[in-house]
Amino acid sequence: MTVLAYRAARKQAVPDRVPTTAVNSLSTYRLKLQSKESPVVRSSDLKNADRPVKSGPARSPIARLLQLGSLVGRVGASVAVEQLISLVRSGPSRKLHQVANLVRNAERIVHDLGQLKGAAMKVGQMLSLQDALLPPEVTGVLRALQQQAPPIPFGVVKRQLDAELPGWRKTIKRLEPVAIAAASIGQVHRGVLRDGRPVAVKIQYPGIAEIIEADLVNLRRLLKSLFALFTDADFAPVWGEVRDRLREELDYENEAENLRRMAELWAGSDQVVIPGVIDAASSRCVLTMEYVAGYTPDEACGDAQPQALRDRWGAALFDFLLRGLFEHRFIHADPNLANFSFLADGRVVVYDYGCVKSVPRPIVKGYRELCRAALAGRRGEVPSLLAAMGVTTGSGAPVSAELVAPGLDFVQRVLADAHPYRFGGDDQIFRQVFDLTTSRFGEVKDIRFPHHIIFIDRTVVGHFGNLSRLRAAAPWREMLEARLY
């Protein structure tokens, strides 16, 4: 709970901004990348699809190593220079320039990893959710990687579709050439089946499997160094978890099976919609599913929607998380809000099942006991319960009660009986957690944790951020109790 609650507190407190003092001090620095127009693909490209076109991101291991190496070199040199200059600075001036330098480097990462796609971009997206490890100014910039990436030309993905499903035209009557979404591994095109049903066709970038493997070799070295800056925990099992999830995302047949299993688990739900798989138009590199139109995240989180409706969407996301963890032991582990759309009746449509985590029973039991202790106000039991889950200090001792306290304060505030907690408007707990993390960084760095919680952590933190964007309020305590007992 100390790991999850810390990150959740930071995520919900300032989801789209940084503390006022930091904003004022950094007013001369660019905290967000300027949006860039994605290439527009006209319908005429359907006729010109067989002409030579740019094939997308670099594919050879050497080319990608050079690009990643260049990025690391520029970032590393920048950090080294900053460290030298910081020797002659003191107090607020030093901290200001350090944060500004981190922001500039985050912008470099966003630009380069977004162009590389593949595992490099995916890992960048993961970093953007790590609010407990990185300053909020930096995660604010990295969050740009969660947005839509520039699509590759339709001619390229069409040839991939022809190679994977030579007879796709027998099932799909029409396929729009302009991608409705583009990400790190593939992009999505809207289509219509011969029977008139609207579908979303997810097509993997050609050669992306080789790209992923090339990235894994290089990123392991880079992330090991980054990991060591923030924790003394063993990197090997953590990397194994990240690597396995990335490789699973390449297999669209596996994703289709995840979809079918989720649809079975959520059949009859009045809160969550799981699109059906179109087997006749799917393969290992192509996934065709039912298209369910809804509000985009920006539309759903905007002021045009009634708050009562945003509250219903927030409750649906929260229960999706709770049931996945405690009931199904099978969680959708990519909480990027772009993977959801929102219906006018309060239901939420869930897309992208490449990253799904089966949770071991002992881990679920640990979370259940932690939540029961928090609900009952048994704060003194939390360090030992965390230790039973494998969250300890480097010596194997329980983490200190002082380190756990701010996270528990946040959890108890969310679960208070008095009135439903509204996410997104309270940064007091954020300041408390941030100050403690900074002042006791050595103790935080010494925490060890089981690798299984990495993607559970990512999911919880991500959804707390989603609830903050929706500014949602609901009977969180009642909902949690319903899934624990």
Catalytic residue positions, numbered: 334
Give the containing element (helix H, strand E) for 7: helix 2-13
Strands 340-342 and 348-350: antiparallel
The residue with tokens 């409705």 is 180
Are the C-beta atoms of residues 232 and 301 closer than 8 Å to each other?
A: no
What's the half-sphere exposure (Cβ side, CA atoms, 13 Å) at 473?
Answer: 13
Q: DSSP characters for 154-198?
A: HHHHHHHHHHH-TTGGGTEEEE-SS-SEE-SSEEEEEEEETTS-E
Query: Is the Cα torsion angle 156, 160, 163, 167 positive or negative in sign?
Result: negative
Neighbour-count burial of 355, counting CB atoms closer than 10 A to its CB (0-12 exposed, 13-18 middle, 19+ buried): buried
Q: Can you read off the two tokens belonging to residue 41?
A: 């693909």
Q: Can you read off the two tokens belonging to residue 283?
A: 């393969």
Q: What whole-number distance in Å separates Cα of residue 86 and Cα of residue 10?
A: 27
Q: Give the Å distances, CA to CA, from 146 to 179, 181, 303, 312.
A: 16, 11, 22, 24
Q: What whole-number distance in Å separates Cα of residue 414 and Cα of residue 308?
A: 18
